[in-house]
Amino acid sequence: MTSTLFSELFLSPAAIVTVKGIILQAMWILIPAMVATGGSGFALAKGRSGRLLESKKKRMPFIALNGLLILLPSAFYLHAKAQAGVFDTSFYAVQVVELVAGAINFWMLSKNMRDGLKLAGRLRPKKASL
């Protein structure tokens, strides 16, 4: 997100193409890492219950669907448009959608991280936290 914003606000079209290409390549790491994090989380949660775990489990379908249905197709679309040198209204419309969806996923992943740290005893649980 920071590379996208920085390149599109301050850098050349060539730099935007490079950033969009790197974002697509990073998917080869990001997607398996997400599957491993979610999968190991579900494995650790076996035989345990509680409010924090339920919240973490409930967020996962939103995180996964947001990633697969919005973020991944947007990354392909924006890369193709940037490579073709077409920075038109639809490029920026999809870019805004991608940034908003990315921010939502970042927020939900942060909440999962916070709840994970509480479960592992590294953060003190708050009584009325969501």
**Which residues of this protein are in contact with ligand HEM, per CB under 6 A?**
34, 37-38, 41-42, 44-45, 48, 53, 56-57, 60, 109, 112-113, 116-117, 119-120, 122
Instruction: Output the 3-class SS for 34-102.
Output: HHHHHHHHHHHHCCCCCHHHHHHHHHHHHHHHHHHHHHHHHHHHHHHHHHCCCCCHHHHHHHHHHHHHH
| Amino acid identity for residue 79 in this structure | H
User: In this complex, which beta carbon is closest to ligand HEM, that of residue 44 or of residue 69?
Assistant: 44
Contacts of 115 (CB under 8 A, 6+ apart): 52, 53, 55, 56
Min CB(66)–ligand HEM separation in Å: 12
User: In this complex, which beta carbon is closest to ligand HEM, that of residue 97 or of residue 111?
Assistant: 111
User: In this complex, which beta carbon is closest to ligand HEM, that of residue 93 or of residue 113?
Assistant: 113
Min CB(6)–ligand HEM separation in Å: 25
User: In this complex, which beta carbon is closest to ligand HEM, that of residue 10 or of residue 28?
Assistant: 28
Min CB(32)–ligand HEM separation in Å: 12
> Taking a C-beta distance cutoff of 8 angstroms, is the pair 60, 99 a contact?
no
